[in-house]
Structure 1
Amino acid sequence: MRLGFSMPHMLRLKATCQPWEAQVTGADQTRLARWAEQLDYAMISLPEHHVIPESHVELSGPHYFHAYSGMAYLAGATERIRVNSCIAILPLQNPVVTAKSLATTDWLSSGRVTVTFGVGWLAEEFEILGVPFRERGAIAEEYVQAIIELWTAEKPAFEGRYVSFRDVAFEPKPVQRPHPPVWFGGDADPVLRRTARYASGWWPFLTKPEDIPARLDFIRSQPDYNGRLSEVYYGFATSRVGEGHSVQTDPRARPGMTRQEIIDRLGWFSELGVTMSSVPIPAVNDIQEYYDYTQWVAEEIMPAIA
């Protein structure tokens, strides 16, 4: 079991965020990324939305990054820690541009990119960006195929309904071979089937922890399963966020748990098939107290779960 770093002020979800996080700046996050690397956290992941309709701001908050830009910045600010998205909304950006962005970051960072794609859930965001919401699954299916083609083929070519190209050159290729790890985030059957076909990792959100083994069996039972699923990320705070970012109560995932409670829960996650998790930000008062807490996790939790 490895731990990702819970970066404060990546978003302002009502279900999980604390008031002090809104004061954390980009400069603070840069220093925290280097701190996370120093403490041997495995990964920093960035959420993504492009716009939040006013009707969703109360639960979702207004503050989100463009995942690929943020990943590139944090990769450039560090030397060893991996960067990921949680999630990048695959249908909302041209796949050629997405492939180029991620390949660039992977090449410049010496191979530290993982990407978690999602199909999105916020219909108004799709409408604003001119992408048909009801076709997002079909779009995602073509886009991931096109991205992998660009990353891996010497002479990439693809013919689809939503994207086509031929007689093109695409370099630099990613450093990682055959390509950077692709994960999918989400819980619906079509997402899991897509995970089976293309991914090496799965990031569930609405799936209850105890249901993870059955869903992993579903992925691995698909007739076109690629045989590569090796990573499952389930953070402590995941079960505190419901559909549409609604607030859920889960005493087993409360922040500020004792050392043994955290170790026991991570052990349970591991038994369920989870390979990576994150400890929730506790009820601290400011960023300095969070530095102290993340160091405590590195010294007291990481050795016990390694």
Structure 2
Amino acid sequence: MEFGVSTFVTDDGIGPAALGRALEERGFGALFLAEHTHIPVSRETPWPGGAELPRHYYRTLDPFVALTAAATVTERLLVGTGIALVIQRDPIVLAKEVASLDLISGGRAVLGIGAGWNREEMRNHGTEPKTRMRLLRERVLAMKELWTEDEAEFHGEFVDFDPVFSYPKPVQDPHPPVLVGGSGPTTFDRVVEFGDGWMPILGRGTEDLGGQIAALRERAGRRVPVTVFGVTPKAQIVADMEAAGADRVLFNLPTEPEAATLARLDEMAKLL
């Protein structure tokens, strides 16, 4: 089983280059970064994690800029999004960002995706919450065309473009893996149709994780890779994840200044 961290990189915590270097030095294999383009002041949509939205949600750096900084000072560390809010991004631009990160990193990019929870945030991007899952599907399928075809085109309900040239192409063949986040009733539909892996958040609909993983792999007819997101760094939890059939765990790393982060990573590294 592989190990990494999932975190929010902000303007008042450890910087992405220092974090990436520290992770690789301690033997971690992956860095996954969250994103929020902004947080609406209204705060109408409840946060799934509790009552009060934590400070770091308001202050995230752009994940692709931050991951590029981490990639340039590392050699082996996977650099991924956990998650990228595809429904808030233009698919042609996002396809170029992911391919550029994959090229700069030498084929180490991973795209974790989701449809988000903050309805006011997505509306500010022109996205209707009720149709966001259909929008997510089309944007991912369109990006796969852009990554793999010399003259890519896509014609759907939400995404529609005639043949285009889109470069660079990703280093990974056929493209960076797309990990589908979430654990709702239709999540496996998305994993099977256009995902290359599943990335649930531990504790949110994962009460029978081993059974869920087995059911997904049976349905897909293949060994779907599973990355478990937001894991508490405890030995028993790690053992449970391995027994459930997970391929990678991402320890939840709080957003803190550099000295505190390095000390916390030293403790986490004991579990590797």
Scaled by the length of structure 2, what TM-score is found? 0.85
Unaligned 5+ segments in structure 1 are: 12-21, 238-254, 256-261
Which string of whole-angstrom CA distances, capped at 9 and with x for unpartnered residues, describes residues 90-137 of structure 1? Answer: 111111111111001101211010010001111101121211111100
**Kindly tell me: are residues 279 and 93 of structure 1, through their superposed partners in 2, closer, same or farther at Cα, counting changes over 3 Å?**
closer
Pick the structure with greater CA Rg.
Answer: 1
| One-letter amino acid of the counterpart of residue 295, structure 1 | D
Match of 2:213 in 1: 216
Match of 1:54 in 2: 41
Q: Alpha-carbon deviation of 1:78? A: 2.4
2:3 aligned with 1:3, yes or no? yes
**Kindly tell me: are residues 286 and 71 of structure 1, through their superposed partners in 2, closer, same or farther at Cα, counting changes over 3 Å?**
closer
Match of 1:301 in 2: 271
Instruction: Tell me how far apart the structure 2 counterparts of residues 163 and 214 of structure 1 sit (CA, whole Å).
Output: 35
Unaligned 5+ segments in structure 2 are: none
Match of 1:24 in 2: 13
2:154 aligned with 1:155, yes or no? no
**Kindly tell me: are residues 215 and 107 of structure 1, through their superposed partners in 2, closer, same or farther at Cα, counting changes over 3 Å?**
same
Match of 1:120 in 2: 116
**Kindly tell me: are residues 226 and 128 of structure 1, through their superposed partners in 2, closer, same or farther at Cα, counting changes over 3 Å?**
farther
| One-letter amino acid of the counterpart of residue 232, structure 1 | T
| One-letter amino acid of the counterpart of residue 212, structure 2 | R
Match of 1:250 in 2: none
Match of 1:35 in 2: 22
2:204 aligned with 1:236, yes or no? no
Instruction: Tell me how far apart the structure 1 counterparts of residues 98 and 21 of structure 2 sit (CA, whole Å).
Output: 21
Paired residues of 2:19 and 2:70 also in contact (CA < 8 A): no
What is the percentage of aligned positions where both structures have the same residue? 29
Match of 1:270 in 2: 242
Instruction: Tell me how far apart the structure 2 counterparts of residues 160 and 2 of structure 1 sit (CA, whole Å).
Output: 37
Instruction: Tell me how far apart the structure 1 counterparts of residues 252 and 162 of structure 2 sit (CA, whole Å).
Output: 46
Aligned residues: 262
| Higher RCO (C-alpha 8 Å, min separation 6) | 2
Paired residues of 1:150 and 1:156 also in contact (CA < 8 A): yes
Which string of whole-angstrom CA distances, capped at 9 and with x for unpartnered residues, describes residues 160-199 of structure 1? Answer: 1111223321222100001101101111122221011222
| One-letter amino acid of the counterpart of residue 229, structure 1 | V
Q: Alpha-carbon deviation of 1:288? A: 2.7
- Structure in which a larger fraction of residues adopt helix: 1
Match of 2:174 in 1: 178
2:32 aligned with 1:45, yes or no? yes
Instruction: Tell me how far apart the structure 2 counterparts of residues 25 and 294 of structure 1 sit (CA, whole Å).
Output: 12
Q: Alpha-carbon deviation of 1:201? A: 1.9
**Kindly tell me: are residues 123 and 31 of structure 1, through their superposed partners in 2, closer, same or farther at Cα, counting changes over 3 Å?**
same
**Kindly tell me: are residues 97 and 287 of structure 1, through their superposed partners in 2, closer, same or farther at Cα, counting changes over 3 Å?**
closer
**Helix, strand or coil for the counterpart of 2:3?**
strand
Please give the root-mean-square deviation of Cα atoms over the aligned residues, in Å: 2.6
**Helix, strand or coil for the counterpart of 2:35?**
coil
- Structure in which a larger fraction of residues adopt strand: 2
Match of 1:134 in 2: 130
